[in-house]
């Protein structure tokens, strides 16, 4: 049997399949099921800064005493934080696989001190799920990126556990951003975040939500950047996320240079035990190819290791469709 163990940000995982942050990792029963299915680690459902602020705002709107606003905000935040810390503590008692906490935030403020409490609660690592939509036309790309750098530098400066940054792909120079994040102490990056996207119902003339689940074709974009980042910023660990719907997709991301592969939509659509099929498929493929460990083939198809690296840089269809009329 091949050895599927991997080292992700200094954490020892029995295999590279990680259950990504979602509602599926918000309860102890489901986390246990994921471990039993064979998952190598779990990323707990994110604690959302926006959600806490939204809930506090709703309570304040229904309150007749303006002077109570600070109390309501602090109570809402404190209650959400305590519940999350309890989830971490219970998860660590219930499973033996690494438990990675997750914060979805856009400001440093109280989240820096909260990250220390996450560490104290027993989390093996922290995934910072950061996204700031650049809607201010007067902000420069540097202003936008500094929001990330400020948060990361403050959090990594006080924690001993490893920190990964879950990124969106809307950066002018993603390689430069990842390199800077690594310099500021981030041990890993998750490529990429999947955001809420709006859609329009043209019959009811209402704004709706687009499909929240990924599809297999989403893998291609992540594959390109995994291959590039794994070589250009080689010391940072990559967890490839989005578009993983089969064991073949897991293999592809590892070949591109990922240390781990996160799965979420597939588990929603096909059940938590589908994680086991990913692990089995990977193991059988390794045995067929004669690889005795993941490191024996990881990165073999990365940017540096293929005969023509420009295929990862090519972004136009001209070569392929120029003859179509």
CA–CA separation, 244 and 252 (whole Å): 10
Q: What pLDDT is stored for residue 132 in this prediction? A: 73
Check residue 209 and give its pLDDT.
Answer: 77
Query: Which residues partner with 80 through β-bridges?
Result: none
According to the model, what pLDDT value does residue 77 have? Answer: 47
**33 close to 55: Cβ distance less than 8 angstroms:** no
Q: Which domains does the chain have, with CATH numbers?
A: 6-321 (3.20.20.70)
Cβ atoms within 10 Å, residue 91: 25
Task: Average pLDDT across each block of 10 residues of the chain; the chain has 325 residues. List them in order.
Answer: 97 98 94 98 79 38 42 45 91 98 74 86 94 83 90 94 93 94 98 82 86 85 94 96 96 98 96 97 98 97 78 57 51
Closest to 19 measured CA to CA, from 84, 111, 122, 102: 102
Nearest Cα to Cα of residue 305 among 254, 235, 260, 256: 256
- Measured in residues, the chain has a length of 325
CA 143 to chain centre: 23
In this prediction, residue 134 carries a pLDDT of 79
pTM: 0.86
**Sequence-distant (≥ 6) Cβ neighbours of residue 2 within 8 angstroms:** 283, 286, 287, 291, 292, 293
């Amino acid at each position: 049997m091949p050895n599927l163990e991997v080292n992700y940000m200094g954490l020892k995982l029995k295999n590279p399949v990680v259950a990504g942050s979602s509602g599926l990792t918000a309860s102890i029963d489901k986390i246990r099921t994921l471990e039993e299915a064979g998952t190598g680690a779990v990323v707990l459902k994110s604690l959302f800064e926006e959600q806490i602020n939204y809930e506090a705002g709703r309570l304040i709107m229904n309150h007749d005493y303006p002077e109570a606003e600070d109390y309501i905000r602090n109570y809402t935040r404190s209650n959400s934080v305590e519940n999350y810390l309890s989830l971490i503590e219970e998860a660590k008692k219930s499973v033996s696989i690494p438990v990675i906490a997750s914060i979805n935030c856009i400001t440093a403020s109280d989240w820096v001190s909260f990250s220390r409490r996450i560490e104290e609660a027993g989390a093996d690592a922290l995934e910072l799920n950061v996204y700031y939509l650049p809607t201010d036309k007067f902000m420069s790309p540097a202003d936008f990126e500094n929001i990330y750098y400020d948060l990361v530098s403050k959090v990594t400066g006080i924690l001993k556990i490893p920190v990964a940054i879950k990124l969106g792909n809307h950066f002018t120079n993603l390689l430069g951003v990842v390199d800077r994040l690594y310099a500021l102490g981030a041990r890993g990056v998750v490529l990429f975040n999947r955001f809420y996207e709006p859609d329009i119902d043209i019959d009811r003339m209402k704004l709706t939500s687009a499909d929240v689940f990924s599809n297999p074709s989403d893998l291609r974009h992540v594959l390109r950047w995994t291959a590039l980042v794994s070589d250009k910023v080689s010391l940072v660990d990559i967890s490839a996320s989005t578009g993983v719907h089969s064991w073949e997709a897991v293999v592809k991301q590892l070949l591109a240079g990922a240390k781990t592969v996160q799965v979420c939509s597939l588990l929603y659509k096909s059940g938590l035990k589908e994680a086991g099929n990913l692990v089995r498929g990977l193991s059988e493929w390794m045995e067929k190819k004669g690889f005795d460990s993941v490191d024996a083939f990881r990165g073999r198809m990365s940017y540096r290791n293929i005969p023509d690296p420009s295929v990862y840089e090519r972004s136009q269809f001209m070569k392929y469709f120029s003859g179509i009329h």
